[in-house]
Each structure stands twice: as C-alpha cells, then as structure tokens.
Amino acid sequence: MELGSKVEESDGGVAQLYRRIFSFIYPYRFRFALGLATALLAGASTGTLYVALKTVTALVLRGTADFSLTVPVLGKLDLSQILGFQQWLALGENWQTTSKIAALCLIVPCFVLLRGILDFLTSYQLAWIEQRVTLDLRRKVFSRIMDRSLEFFNKRRASDLIQTVFGMTAACANASMTLAQDMVRRPAAVLAVVTVLFISDPVFMGFSFVVFPICMLPVIIFSRRVRKSGKNEQKFAGQIMGILQEALAGIRVVKSHARERFEMDRFTRSAQDVNKTALKLTILVEVVGPLVESTASLGIAGGLFYCWWRGVPFDEFMARCLALVAIYPDVKALSRTQMVMSRCRAASDGIFEMLNEPIEIQDAPGALVLTRVSGEIEFENVTFGYLPGAAPAVRGLNLKFAPGKFYALVGESGAGKSTTLSLLLRFYDPQDGRLLIDGHDLKQVAQTSLREQIGIVNQDLFLFHDTIENNIRYGRLNATHEEVREAAKIARADDFILKQPQGYATLVGDKGCNLSGGQLQRVTIARALLRDSPILLLDEATSNLDPETEQAFKDALRVLRQGRTVVAIAHRFSTILEADQIVVMDQGAVLDSGTHDELLGRCPVYERLFRLQFSSAA
C-alpha cells in the first residue's frame, strides 16, 4: 500500500479526516479561537472601511454626505449622529476648514492600519499554531515509525518515511491553517462588503454578483485534478529523496564503481518528474484565478452600466468599485479553497495511513517489565519465515541456553543463525512455538525491558554522526566518562581513541566513516560492553579485527562472560573454540551441539566447516 493512497472517498471519510487534523489543533484551541476571532474582525473591518471611504469621500469632495442607513431589525440609522458629524454639518459650508479636512482624510489610513493590525495578529496566531501542529505531527509519526517491527522497515524505503515525517506533515499543517483563515476571514470580508453595498443599492449588487454561481464552475472542475497532482507531487518527492539518500549512504560503492554519472542521471530524471508535477499543480491552481476573475468582471461591467444609467455620483461609484476591488483577494482566495483542501487531503492521507496501520509487534496488555534476569534462554519448537509461502528461516528450533554460559552458533550462510538472534531480540514473532527468558514467554514481556537485558554487536556496524564518547555512551545513556573509558579499555579501543585529534570528543563521521573497520568494530564492542547486560549477543563481532586485537578481545571476553549468557555467531572458529557449547545449524534447524572436540569427531558439517577455514588460512 502506498503512503499516498486514499483513506476514504466518502463524505464521512472526509469529515473524519478533518476531525483527526483538528485533534492536533485542539491542544491550542484558545489561541486558535483568538486567531479566528481576529480573522473575523479583520474581515468585518473591510465593510467598515467601505463605509468610511464612502463617507469621507463625499464629505471632502461634495461637503455633504448621505448618513442615513437602513439596517434590518435596527431600522433607519443616522450615521452623522453616531460619528459626531452632526454639529459640523449644521455649520453649512463653513465647517470645511483645513484642519477638519485633514482629520477626515486621516480616517481612511486609520481604518487601513486597524485592518492591517488585525491581519497581522491573525497570521501570527495561526503561524504559531501551524509550527506547533507540525511538530506534534512529526513527533507522532516518527514515534509510530520507531514502534514498528523490522518487517515494516524491510518493506519500506527510508526516503518515503522521511518524506512522510517532514514533507507531508508540513504540507498538512500549512494547508490546515490556510483553510482555517480562508474559511473565516475571507467570507467575513466578502459578507461585510456585500451587506453594506446591498443595503446601499440592492440592484448594483445584483449586477455585480449575478455571475457568482458561474464563477464556481472552474473550482469544481479543477479541484479533483489538483488532489491527484498533489499526491503525485508527494510521491515523486519521496522518490527523489530516496535516490539522494541511497547515493549518499552508498557513496563508497558509487565511487568505487565509477557510477557518479549514472546516479546523476537518475537524480536528474527524478527531479524532472518533480518539476513537471509541481508545474502542472501550479497551473491547475493558478488557472482558476483568471477564470474566476474574468467571469466576475462581467458583473462589475454590469454594475458600471447601471451606475451610468442611474446617474450615481462619481465619488460614490468609485467607493463602490474600490470596495469590490478590496474584496477581490478574498474572493480569489475563496475560489482556491477547494484546491487547498485537495492538497491538504493529499498530504494528510499519507500521514493518517501511517498512523492507522497496526503495529506488527506490540506489548501484551499488562506485559511483564523485566528487572535484571539470570540469562536463561529457551526456544521451544520455534518456526519462523520472513515471507508467506517461502521456506522458513528457522523450523522446529529447540534450544536452551543456561545462565552464565558461552554458546556459539555455527553453520553456512542461510542456516538461520542471525534469525535466531533477531527472534531473541523480538524483532519478529515466530509463527509457531515460543521463546522464553527466565521462564517468561517473550510475548508477555515488555519489549523495552527485554532489550535492556541484552547487549549486542551486530555484523552490520553502525555509528552515529557524533563523538566517539557519545557513540559508546549510546549503550547506557547515563554512563559517566570514566565508565565509557573503562568499556573502551576492555574493548581495546582506548589507545587508538586517545590518538585521535580530539580524543573521545572526535567526530566519527557519517556511519563512522572516519574510522577504520577494526576501530569501528572496537567502538561498537565498547558500546555493547557499557550496556552491562546479563545477555550478550555477538554477531560476527571480531570479523574486522586484526589477529592481535582479536586475541585481546578474547582475553577480555573470558572476564566479561562471567555471570553473563553469551551467544556468539562467528565464522572465525578461533573465537569460539572456548565456547561451553557449540550449536551447529543447517537449513534453519539444529543439526548437532556439543564442545569443539565432541563435534569434530561426530558432526560432518562442523568438521567440514572447520577444515575449510583452516585449510584456507594455511
């Protein structure tokens, strides 16, 4: 299922979608209400501005004005009395002094300034909420992603997930706040001006707005196409991020194969797809404005003809036209509301699909929180496969690891060794059978507490773009500098770290690119040792170590394994000869188990693997 797929097409689905968006706005509801209130006032002030403009223009140019205004329910009002002009008008033409005319002229910019202040307050409040909603959405989506099992990550591109966390959340929050403002401020402005004009001259407004229903046709026609293009834009943006992420993550492979031009061509093609989609989306959105404007101008032309026919004074006609021009941006914004809603849905569909998907591996209700365990591990008839219908990676697996013992898993590639460790970490749940730790079924244990009992060195080494010290401390976040150094000493990493330009404060680079393979592995081992867990998993932990460092690590392991259950996967037999028990695996099942000497005499597979390695070394 694609991230941008539809949530629901029904009206109920749309309503549910916007309710979920509002659930992220709800914590900021008071500020949101304040923003909508200022938006409403800003819109209403447009109608007040028209009244002020009409009155001031008439007073300045003609010396008099019609202050009577008939308002439904309230009846006929005398604005001259309300505004305090009655005493001026009683003086006849003698009231038109320079100071009074100047004061009248300043009324208009004062109203404009007031509307500007209200617009600023609206924009600030909604922008503040937009940033908070974006942050909350990103945290929610990222948290959901972090809770997913490895099965989920095996099926998704990292770039698609990044695009959902950053691109879609920002687009959703932005469109939501734009809609909130447009659905309050814009209608208020249009309604205020239309009401005032309609009270002043209903026929003029009839000419101006008779074509309004026709203006909505372009909106209806183009809105569905905008939504489709919006989803394509998100999809292509994810693709280009994928190409960029893979090229940078695999830069050594790219350069070693001289594929810079190939990657550049891939990036260019994807960037062109993004540009084409963005341009198409822009055309669809922008073409609506001119179509609406052209249709609406027919109404203005009709109003102009009516004013000529009725002999409306020039200043009054100009005031009406300026009022219509003043609400033009509001009408234009309203004409795009459906387009903004379509873009909002295109982004939010992907977000809420991600949040709606069930998590593959979840803690059971009332899951047991483990304290420090003894380290007893048992596999009871465990069967697990990565893909439905494919051969299982492990089948009928029965193993028991006693506390404080050293176990080694050997076998050819694909025998199920790494899968066994993944099941123990509960990265996956078996299809059949169960796993126990100190007698507790892993499905009844809280995942976090389980993994806190385990330290691991993976065959795929990974360090964060941070200092050496912080990478080691990742094993136990509250560790002191002295504890970090002690773990590094045991892993034989302290000497080379001190020789770095900034010692433990040296940045390792992306994925540890500034360190050699052996140094990278020693830092990873130090991280696992710092965790001080009762169970230690070593997945090819010594594969990148030179013989001298490997021997030093084996010496350290003799001390570390005291009181710990150690399970190691190693193709180097030199690191497992001292294991209390060696488990030979083949095609996902246990073939045999015993000490090195026992297996060498009775297990042909183990003997073959042993002879092959040492004959190759010779």
User: Which neighbouring-strand residues pair with 437?
Assistant: 377, 440
Give me the count of residues in the chain.
618
Residues in a beta bridge with 455? 536
Quote the CA–CA distance of 96 and 98 in Å, as a whole number.
Answer: 7
The dihedrals phi and psi of 265, each to the nearest 5 degrees, come to -65, -40
Q: Are 165 and 145 in contact (CB under 8 A)?
A: yes
Please tell me if the domain spanning 11-356 has the same topology as the one spanning 461-532: no
Instruction: Say how far apart CA 452 and CA 528 lie, in whole Å.
Output: 11
What Rg, from alpha-carbon coordinates, does the chain have? 37
Instruction: Give the pairing type, strands 565-569 and 406-410.
Output: parallel
Q: Which two tokens stand for residue 470?
A: 């912080």
CATH superfamily of 461-532: P-loop containing nucleotide triphosphate hydrolases (3.40.50.300)
pLDDT, position 376: 92
59, 93 Cβ separation under 8 angstroms: no
Is-contact 442 362, C-beta < 8 A? no
What are the angstrom distances between the C-alpha of 424 and each of 21, 382, 437, 537, 542? 39, 11, 9, 10, 21
Contact 280, 229 (CB under 8 A): yes
H/E stretch holding 275: helix 260-310
Q: What are phi and psi of 463, to 5 degrees?
A: -125, 150
CB 1 within 8 A of CB 353: yes
Low-confidence stretches of the chain (pLDDT < 50) are: 1-12, 73-74, 91, 617-618
List the chain domain ranges: 11-356, 461-532
According to the model, what pLDDT value does residue 166 have? 83
* Greatest Cα pair distance in the chain: 125
Q: Rounded to whole angstroms, how far apart are CA atoms 402 and 296?
A: 83
Q: How far apart (Å, rounded) are the C-alpha atoms in residues 47 and 51?
A: 7
CB-based burial of residue 588 (10 Å sphere; 0-12 exposed, 13-18 middle, 19+ buried)? buried
| CA-closest candidate to residue 491, choices 460, 519, 453, 462 | 519
* One-letter amino acid of 44: A
Say which DSSP state 445 is in: B
Cα–Cα dist 556/550, whole Å: 10
Helix (H) or strand (E) segment spanning residue 589: strand 589-594
Strand partners, 77: 69
Say how far apart CA 123 and CA 115 lie, in whole Å.
12
Q: Which tokens go with 294?
A: 């052209």
The Cβ-side half-sphere exposure at 337, using a 13 Å CA radius, reads 15
For residue 312 the two structure tokens come to 């409306």
- C-alpha 514/C-alpha 518 separation (Å) is 12
Of 147, 164, 355, 169, which Cα lies nearest the Cα of 241? Answer: 164
Q: At 341, is the secondary structure helix, strand, or coil?
A: helix
Paired tokens of 187: 């209608």
Q: For the purposes of burial, counting CB atoms within 10 Å of the CB of 282, is it exposed (0-12), middle (13-18) or buried (19 or more)?
A: exposed
d(CA 586, CA 590): 6
d(CA 260, CA 251): 9
CATH assignment of 11-356, among 1.20.1560.10, 3.40.1400.10, 3.40.50.1010, 3.40.50.12780: 1.20.1560.10
User: Cα-Cα-Cα-Cα dihedral of 218, 221, 224, 227, to 10°?
Assistant: -20
Burial pattern 170-193, b for ≥16 Cβ within 10 A else e, equals: bbbbbbbbbbbbbbbbbbbbbbbb
State the burial class of residue 506 (Cβ atoms within 10 Å of its Cβ: 0-12, 13-18, 19+).
Answer: middle
pLDDT on residue 442? 93
Dihedral sign, Cα of residue 402, residue 408, residue 411, residue 415: positive
Distance CA(227)–CA(4), nearest Å, equals 11
Residues forming beta bridges with residue 565, ordered by sequence position: 535
How does pLDDT run across 471-498, given as a tens digit for each residue?
Answer: 999 888 899 999 999 999 888 889 899 9
Cα gap 340→335, rounded to integer Å: 10
Q: At what angle do helices 185-200 and 314-326 cross, to 10 degrees?
A: 160
CA angle 409, 411, 412 (to 5 degrees): 145
The CA distances from residue 80 to 77, 107, 569, in Å, are: 9, 15, 93
Q: Do residues 320 and 198 lie in contact, with contact meaning Cβ atoms separated by under 8 Å? A: no
The candidate with the shortest Cα–Cα distance to 35, out of 184, 245, 144, 158, is 184
Tell me the sheet residues that pair with 568.
408, 538
Region of residue 404 (left: phi > 0; alpha: psi -120 to 50; beta: else): left
